[in-house]
Amino acid sequence: MSEVLIPFAIHRDNHMVEVFDVPRGRDCNCRCPSCGQGVIARHGQKTVWHFAHDPKADDKPYQACELSFFSCCRLYLIERALAGELSRLSLPELVVAERIGKYRPILKKGRVNRAQKLEISEYRTDGPFDLQARLGNHTLAIYIDYPGRLPPDLPEDEFTGVLAVDITQLESRYRRDPERQKRILPVLQSLFSDSPDWPESIYWLYHPRTEAVRAKLRNALLKEYDPAKDQPCFTSQSRRRVPAFNPAPPKSPQPVQIRESGPSGVFRCLKCQNKWKGRKFLHATCDSCRTHLYSQFHEHQ
């Protein structure tokens, strides 16, 4: 089994922990969150601290562990959210645009949601998404996004919004600068609170007001749109008068000049010494060499 760098593991008390929370080596008393095999905690000086599968473990799985860095982080993020450690959440601004017209298009933008910061008192995991939270009469669903993962079907009701939290940058930050070991929980808290260090890592997958805003924009565009004005635009250069095209009269056909066949005589090929009779301009090609380049002609006297 190839070594997998695991940032989190399940402690014997069944809670996920970071490698900073446990002693080094097998004394960490942890197992892999995916395959259940025992892991060891590595606190190195030149490599980033991590858990690794214990090559001497007695509980090796029948199949190779398919745990990835991102799936492991997703499990840890969910557990920390349920524990109330990711209560601060920033909702990003959502702006949509509609346009009408082909040659002189009109564009209008509308705001669906203003950027705002929330304090989430409680998360749940009883829906099709990773996390859910109640916001008054509405439900905010959170989908943890990373490469290779496909989201479930989006809702079609007016009471549920879906927010994506992209953790793709987390891996590079985890592996960067091993000598400056940092816990990942504060990094996740920074991500949820929309720190400037995480541009566009939180975005809307679905907002229940999006279609209503788009419909309003389309109606406004239809009132302003004038098909008569939506015509191809011409530059000043294209408006210049173009001189009329007066093609020259066709030339009268010239009679085809037929070259004379030439006098009769004897040909000799200087290459193969073949000899034959014929006209000077018609029969110069040697039948053996298939070329006229070596033919020599002698006119009959």
Residue 77 lies in a domain: no
Q: How far apart are CA 279 and CA 71, in angstroms?
A: 91
The per-residue pLDDT for range 207-265, each reduced to its tens digit, is: 999 999 999 999 999 998 888 888 887 655 555 555 655 666 666 655 544 445 677 88
Same domain for 103 and 58, yes or no, is no
Residue 293 lies in a domain: yes
The per-residue pLDDT for range 38-55, each reduced to its tens digit, is: 899 988 777 788 888 888
Same domain for 219 and 92, yes or no, is yes
Does pTM surpass 0.75?
no
Same domain for 180 and 270, yes or no, is no
Q: What total number of domains does the chain contain?
A: 3
Residue 243 lies in a domain: no
Same domain for 98 and 61, yes or no, is no
pLDDT at res. 229: 86
Same domain for 126 and 176, yes or no, is yes
Q: Which residues span the domain enclosing 36?
A: 8-67
- Percent residues over pLDDT 70 in the chain: 81
Confidence tier at 130 by pLDDT (50, 70, 90): very high
The arithmetic mean of pLDDT across residues 128-151, rounded, is 89
